Chain A
């Protein structure tokens, strides 16, 4: 269970939000909404532990995330604005390296299957710098296909995806929720997630 209590965010001189709290339990999805600059990404960065909140506390399974950073990060999968893929490496190498650095083991066959699912069959061995923007995003999303960690934090996951890919990703997220996972995500386009309880939080 992920709980946030009384969070306050100050960037520069401006206070973006204060007194923000929510609880998220297994199988639930939290939609963060708000206009540009409202602090959605800042909140996500607080939730992943990279930005310390000005005030308030975030707890994972009842304990503050500050006191259990390594365990918490082992349970967390974050997909940010940036794809976090290396241009010089191939999609397959990127996926395997990401899994290894994330502390999980990923058999090569599963990685190839995941890349096939995101529509990169036959391009596993092509350096990522030769791929298009959308294809690079798909390499990043392939991480979600094989990720079995309980908490997903996704920053604008639907950006730069075509209609088919949006449906496919919505399916991946509902599969995650059905397995008892949790997800927090920001998005500007309303996407129906077929399974799981969906909650909304509006900032600003």
Chain B
């Protein structure tokens, strides 16, 4: 049962490694967007500290969005999606593998580079730690929810814009609690509550989103 998930992850990671430009461009987009804010706002440390969580999270959402349209589109175009749908395993498990692989190449690098970017906003050590933890916990939910949107807009013309309109509103809870965790830490309230909620959202998204995506993919394949 889990074999298929691992096979899909291994295949998608191998493909991503052969196409590193995609990973690197999303990561650079994140780095540049985040770095523009301190440059534009100027060296007002208090203001920057306040803005940091929101800016980092909004940039993370947009960077995740960049790679979403291709999540299923490439497989759809060359016919491998059909073959995946014909594998003797539930399509939901296949999509779970694809979502996990998407997170490993899009969400995980963001979480790893976020603390470095946080320094530009003069965040303290504990806030940086919570920021990394929040992005680490929250981005799998972004990949999961995004997969539903990617599956629904598969094969549509102008699907990229529609995908953003569809998915970004659904990202709001993750944004609120992700940024809230860092805010709460900065103000001394402690971000554990927010982090638990983020973890809950991620578990729900990874558990349910692949099956919803699979249902949408079956319609797209008809």
Q: Which residues of A contact B (CB under 8 A)?
A: 45, 48-52, 70-71, 73-74, 76, 78, 80-89, 93, 97-98, 100-103, 127
A51 nearest CB neighbor, chain B only: B222
Within 8 A of A (CB), among B72-122: 77-80, 82-90, 94
List of A residues within 8 angstroms of B88 by Cβ: 70-71, 73-74, 102-103
Contact indicator A73/B87 (Cβ below 8 Å) = yes
Q: Point out the residue from B11, B78, B90 that lies within 8 Å of A70, measured CB to CB.
A: B90
Given contacts A51-B222, A70-B89, A82-B78, contact A89 B15 (CB under 8 A): yes
Other contacts beyond A82-B79, A101-B87: 10, CB < 8 A: A82-B77, A83-B79, A88-B18, A88-B19, A93-B14, A100-B7, A102-B88, A103-B4, A103-B88, A127-B18
Q: List 11 A-B contacts (CB under 8 A).
A: A50-B218, A50-B221, A70-B88, A70-B89, A73-B87, A83-B79, A84-B80, A86-B80, A88-B18, A101-B4, A103-B4
Contact indicator B14/A84 (Cβ below 8 Å) = no
Closest 7 pairs between A and B when the two form their complex, measured CB to CB = A82-B79, A74-B88, A84-B79, A88-B18, A103-B88, A73-B88, A84-B83
A153 nearest CB neighbor, chain B only: B86
Contact indicator B78/A87 (Cβ below 8 Å) = yes
List of B residues within 8 angstroms of A87 by Cβ: 78
Contact indicator A89/B18 (Cβ below 8 Å) = yes
List of A residues within 8 angstroms of B11 by Cβ: 86, 97, 100-101
Assembled-state Cα–Cα distance A93/B17 (Å)? 14
List of A residues within 8 angstroms of B79 by Cβ: 80-84
Assembled-state Cα–Cα distance A100/B11 (Å)? 10
Contact indicator B78/A101 (Cβ below 8 Å) = no
The count of chain B contact residues (Cβ–Cβ below 8 Å) is: 25
Contact indicator A84/B78 (Cβ below 8 Å) = yes
Is B8 part of the binding interface, using a Cβ–Cβ cutoff of 8 Å?
Answer: yes
Assembled-state Cα–Cα distance A125/B90 (Å)? 31
Contact indicator A73/B86 (Cβ below 8 Å) = yes
Contact indicator B15/A88 (Cβ below 8 Å) = yes
Contact indicator B18/A80 (Cβ below 8 Å) = no
List of A residues within 8 angstroms of B7 by Cβ: 97, 100-101
Assembled-state Cα–Cα distance A93/B83 (Å)? 15
B19 nearest CB neighbor, chain A only: A88
Assembled-state Cα–Cα distance A81/B79 (Å)? 8
A11 nearest CB neighbor, chain B only: B222
Q: Point out the residue from B18, B78, B87, B221 that lies within 8 Å of A103, measured CB to CB.
A: B87
CB distance from B4 to the nearest CB of A (A): 7
Contact indicator B87/A102 (Cβ below 8 Å) = yes
Assembled-state Cα–Cα distance A14/B78 (Å)? 28
List of A residues within 8 angstroms of B8 by Cβ: 101
Assembled-state Cα–Cα distance A166/B8 (Å)? 33
The residue in B14, B87, B88, B218 that gathers the most chain A C-beta atoms within 10 A of its C-beta is B88
Q: Point out the residue from A89, A98, A127 that lies within 8 Å of B83, measured CB to CB.
A: A98
